[in-house]
Amino acid sequence: MKAAEAPFRLADYAPPAFDITHVDLDFRLDRTETRVLARLSIRPRGTATVLELVGDELVLAGLSLDGAPLAADAFTATPSLLTVRAVPDRPFLLEIETVIDPSANTKLMGLYRSTGAYCTQCEAEGFRRITYFLDRPDVLSVYTTRIEALKSEAPLLLANGNPGAHGDIPGSGRHFAVWHDPFPKPSYLFALVAGDLGAVKDSFTTMSGRKVDLAIYCEHGKEARCLYAMDALKRSMRWDETAFGREYDLDVFNIVAVSDFNMGAMENKGLNIFNDKYVLADPNTATDVDYANVEGVIAHEYFHNWTGNRITCRDWFQLCLKEGLTVFRDQEFSSDMRSRAVKRIADVRTLQARQFPEDGGPLAHPVRPEIYHEISNFYTPTVYEKGAEVVRMLQTILGEDGFRRGMDLYFNRHDGDAATIEDFLACFAEATGEDLTQFSLWYSQAGTPQVAARGEFDARHRRYRLTLAQSIPATPGQPVKRPMQIPVRFGLIGPNGEDLDFASVSGARVDGDVIHLTAASQTVTFEGVSTRPVPSLLRGFSAPVRLAIDASAEDLLFQVRADRDPFNRWQAAQTLAMRSLVAGASATAEGRNGAAEPALIDALGAVLDDEKLEPAFRAQVLQIPSEADIAREIGENVDPDAVAASRKRLRLAIVSSLGPRLLAVHTALGAEQSYSPDAGNAGVRALRNAVLDLMVASGSRAAVGAAVWQFETADNMTDRLAALAALCHAALPERLSALHTFHEAYRSDPLVLDKWLTLEASVPAPETLDRVKALLAHPSFAASNPNRVRALVGGFASLNQAQFNRADGAGYDFVADFVLDLDRRNPQTAARLLVAFRSWRSMEPVRRAAAEAALRRIASAPKLSPDTLDIVTRTLA
């Protein structure tokens, strides 16, 4: 196995030896030989005389200092480093010419081609693939970008900032445009786009009355599919003004949708570049979930303008400073646009499905990591989603007003800075007087805390004692942990469903409905409690922890019916289901038949029939934990076949008890409304389709017929896909012709075909692996496109637990082979696929051995990228 390079450590941070105050870039675009002239205004900060600029696969074509070409012995240049010896101890101008080949750029970092256009991706370290630079986030410069290209090939020329001069270059067929961005920014926010694209345009007038021109660019012919994104953009701009007092700051805001993109989207100053999957939406091609994702990602990138761009990160260890905060902001935005309760449930589901397994496995790391080998591997659910939870806890602890005062101070004090988590927390501490020393452990300690709760009612003294104990599991590099500050939002529910009053409380700081758990164990004593309460803890999921409480099935059922916190109503139903599923899995493993919990059936029935509840909420309750959720709960010696059997059996039991009521709800909701992507309308579809999915799982002819009929007659993608998914998830033979029909209908629409690829890969049947392998050669698949890869191979590895984790190891071998092959062309995407192995140690011994063999085979392969080497090394450690 190749030895890794030395890691980067937070403790080693040192400020740069030079500032680069201005960057003038001149691009002469060519498909295979693009010339980049970079004029850097450099100012020494101290006494250093050697300037080292990083590159990545660069070819140097020219170098001069203050106008004079540098002699060969004055510098050395390799593809990854330019060293200039004896630079002046005063400001100077360094001019660097590099030659790059955008067409050969399969890593999709730096300047590359997609959608027939030129585009860039520079975060985190892509700018060094364009020119030699101090490619680190604490070097902030004012950029001027001149782009020159063939007018026929690239009538559209975009870069960061505001548009400047533009015109034709006579006699050459070429033209140029100059862009100037007055806001100093790090190189990772640089962007350029050139091509022949369609557009939708609009404008927005900011709170101080400035008019901003807005445009979204996409492939010709797809303009109408950008209208929803444009609407979401305008709503985001208004929301940031009202919720955070943040106004947009340039004359233009441009978004470009491209079809080849490693991630979701990128917040380049004034020129966001998006994976087109998060821009394009219309009723015929996008589901309700797609619409919600478009809205959320548009908002996320826009909100970065303040949290990320105006205030950026000092170094990449501080990534959560912009990402956790911006995810928190986009989640709040979506909550305000939609149903807050349903949004919270969906976000917690994602956190538990993606971040909890990371935090509980070999890739666990703190929200602010302290060491990394490859920064691209740290765009993780921990940095993003747990990072957002940490910000939300801050709001819970400080209250909405205190939180807002802290944010205001942060924006005022650090505008224009490259800041740290310490800077951020200091603003909240100063604005509110709160001591955040213990709270800051959330940034440095990895692992999901476990909170065990036990309640005891003393009727004679009208006293309720609640003991809360926290423990944080060991994680890589962190064997021992200190107790953290955990805000536990709570209520004591009385028999009529109202929260009970109490006369006094002792044993912990309690502010309103929040208990601050700060010690390893604390007993909170409530005096003057009239009757035995049912405790409702962690309301709204007030902290990203696992709560263990030995509530009886009756108490959980009561909570489902009566808790005034909708999140905990959902949680109580999930807990009941999970108990039954875990018991069912061990029963199967032992050759017994588990029984469904009657309280669960009652709970689901009560929610199903309660028309006072939002349909989207009822749909969430009907979706019992996934196979991956169950495996995570079991935690060790997992047999994925037993898990799948348990889940299937429980769903059958639900249908056999609630069948007629499910049918009644399905029929009642069937009355056709015309399609609209708004949350209310989408919620009705979500409930109807959750019911359909359950009924189809029973295999009843009537239900299967209803699904086929819905598939054939639906007037929108949500209903069509839901019907097809129900047939696929139940592995019914009817799926085959429906999948074929679907492919035929959308054969020219790659984003829709991604849904088809994912469904093909998620069929829970032994033949699926061969089908997935065959699809690698299908014309609708392309290994060069990250969306296709994630849809097919990623879908197989993450959504098809029993087949990926096949006992014969064939699922692991397939993904390992694919990763090895892809690693040579797109290491980032390869490394991300490999993350599917993160829970291998929790499998039963046969699968564990097979997974380990596949991982070792990857680890010993020659010429692994740093990205894949990093993931495989940590996964095996």
| Chain positions contacting ligand 0A1, by CB under 6 A | 121, 123, 262-267, 300-301, 323, 379
Task: Work out how close the CB of 419 gets to Zn ion at its nearest, in angstroms, rounded to a whole number.
Answer: 16
For residue 47, the SS3 value is coil
- Nearer to Zn ion by C-beta: 326 or 588? 326
Task: Work out how close the CB of 519 gets to Zn ion at its nearest, in angstroms, rounded to a whole number.
Answer: 35
Span 320-339, contacts to Zn ion by CB under 5 A = 323, 326
For residue 45, the SS3 value is coil
In the 8-state DSSP scheme, what is residue 160?
A: S
In Å, the largest CA–CA distance within the chain is 97
Cβ-defined contacts of 422-430 (< 8 Å, 24+): 424/321, 424/325, 428/394, 428/398, 428/402, 428/403, 430/406
Which listed option, Zn ion, ligand 0A1, none, makes contact with residue 379 (CB within 5 to 8 Å by class)? ligand 0A1
- Nearer to Zn ion by C-beta: 312 or 868? 312
Span 151-190, contacts to Zn ion by CB under 5 A = none
Which listed option, Zn ion, ligand 0A1, none, makes contact with residue 264 (CB within 5 to 8 Å by class)? ligand 0A1
Which segment (42-50, 163-171, 316-324, 803-811) binds Zn ion by CB under 5 A? 316-324
Task: Indicate the residue type of 875.
Answer: T
The 156-159 sheet, strands edge to edge: 110-114, 117-121, 192-195, 156-159
CB atoms within 10 A of CB 422: 13
On the CB side of 786, how many CA atoms lie within 13 Å of its CA? 26
- Nearer to Zn ion by C-beta: 270 or 362? 270
CA dist list (Å): 629 to 22, 626, 640, 653, 799:
51, 5, 11, 19, 11
Determine the Cα–Cα distance for residues 492 and 67; give it in Å rounded to an integer: 75
Task: Work out how close the CB of 327 gets to Zn ion at its nearest, in angstroms, rounded to a whole number.
Answer: 7
Which listed option, Zn ion, ligand 0A1, none, makes contact with residue 121 (CB within 5 to 8 Å by class)? ligand 0A1
Task: Work out how close the CB of 497 gets to ligand 0A1 at its nearest, in angstroms, rounded to a whole number.
Answer: 41
Task: Work out how close the CB of 379 gets to Zn ion at its nearest, in angstroms, rounded to a whole number.
Answer: 8
For residue 748, give every residue at least 6 positions away whose Cβ sits within 8 Å of its Cβ, in sequence order, or none: none
Assess whether the previous peptide bond of 124 is cis (omega < 30° from 0): yes
Q: What is the chain's percent helix, strand, coil content, to nearest 5? A: 45, 20, 35
Q: Is 202 exposed, middle or buried (0-12, 13-18, 19+ CB in 10 A)?
A: middle
Which segment (195-203, 318-326, 424-432, 637-645) binds Zn ion by CB under 5 A? 318-326
CB 559 within 8 A of CB 494: no
Task: Work out how close the CB of 319 gets to ligand 0A1 at its nearest, in angstroms, rounded to a whole number.
Answer: 9
- Nearer to ligand 0A1 by C-beta: 115 or 262? 262
Q: How far, rounded to the nearest angstrom, does the alpha carbon of residue 39 sit from its chain's CA centroid?
A: 36
Determine the Cα–Cα distance for residues 342 and 329; give it in Å rounded to an integer: 17
- Nearer to ligand 0A1 by C-beta: 30 or 301? 301
Which listed option, ligand 0A1, Zn ion, none, makes contact with residue 276 (CB within 5 to 8 Å by class)? none
- Nearer to ligand 0A1 by C-beta: 27 or 384? 384
Determine the Cα–Cα distance for residues 380 and 319; give it in Å rounded to an integer: 10
Task: Work out how close the CB of 21 gets to Zn ion at its nearest, in angstroms, rounded to a whole number.
Answer: 27
Residue of 52, 191, 55 lying closest to 123 (CA atoms)? 191
Which listed option, ligand 0A1, Zn ion, none, makes contact with residue 866 (CB within 5 to 8 Å by class)? none
CB 72 within 8 A of CB 118: no
Residue of 796, 799, 807 lying closest to 844 (CA atoms)? 807
Angle, to 10 degrees, between the axis of helix 701-713 and the axis of helix 717-729?
A: 150
Which listed option, Zn ion, ligand 0A1, none, makes contact with residue 263 (CB within 5 to 8 Å by class)? ligand 0A1
Which listed option, ligand 0A1, Zn ion, none, makes contact with residue 409 (CB within 5 to 8 Å by class)? none
Task: Work out how close the CB of 302 gets to ligand 0A1 at its nearest, in angstroms, rounded to a whole number.
Answer: 11
- Nearer to ligand 0A1 by C-beta: 127 or 617? 127
CB atoms within 10 A of CB 656: 12
- Nearer to Zn ion by C-beta: 77 or 292? 292
| Three-state SS letters, 520-559 | CEEEEEEECCCCCCEEEECCCCCCCCEEEECCCHHHHHHH
The 504-506 sheet, strands edge to edge: 504-506, 521-527, 463-471, 450-458, 546-549
Task: Work out how close the CB of 326 gets to ligand 0A1 at its nearest, in angstroms, rounded to a whole number.
Answer: 7
- Nearer to Zn ion by C-beta: 326 or 542? 326
Task: Work out how close the CB of 589 gets to ligand 0A1 at its nearest, in angstroms, rounded to a whole number.
Answer: 41
Which listed option, Zn ion, ligand 0A1, none, makes contact with residue 823 (CB within 5 to 8 Å by class)? none
Residue 383: left if φ>0, alpha if ψ -120 to 50, beta else—which one?
alpha
Which listed option, ligand 0A1, Zn ion, none, makes contact with residue 262 (CB within 5 to 8 Å by class)? ligand 0A1
- Nearer to ligand 0A1 by C-beta: 264 or 507? 264
- Nearer to ligand 0A1 by C-beta: 102 or 483? 102
Task: Work out how close the CB of 268 gets to Zn ion at its nearest, in angstroms, rounded to a whole number.
Answer: 12
Which listed option, ligand 0A1, Zn ion, none, makes contact with residue 602 (CB within 5 to 8 Å by class)? none
| Three-state SS letters, 421-448 | HHHHHHHHHHHHCCCCCCCCHHHHCCCC
Catalytic residue at 301? yes
Catalytic residue among 301, 358, 734, 852: 301
Residue 15 tokens, joined: 């400020």
Give the position of tokens 């699968």. 847
Task: Work out how close the CB of 837 gets to ligand 0A1 at its nearest, in angstroms, rounded to a whole number.
Answer: 22
- Nearer to ligand 0A1 by C-beta: 300 or 666? 300
On the CB side of 640, how many CA atoms lie within 13 Å of its CA? 28
CB 263 within 8 A of CB 304: no
Determine the Cα–Cα distance for residues 754 and 293; give it in Å rounded to an integer: 15
Q: Looking at the annotation, which residues are catalytic?
A: 301
Question: Which residues of the chain form contacts with Zn ion (CB under 5 A)?
Answer: 323, 326
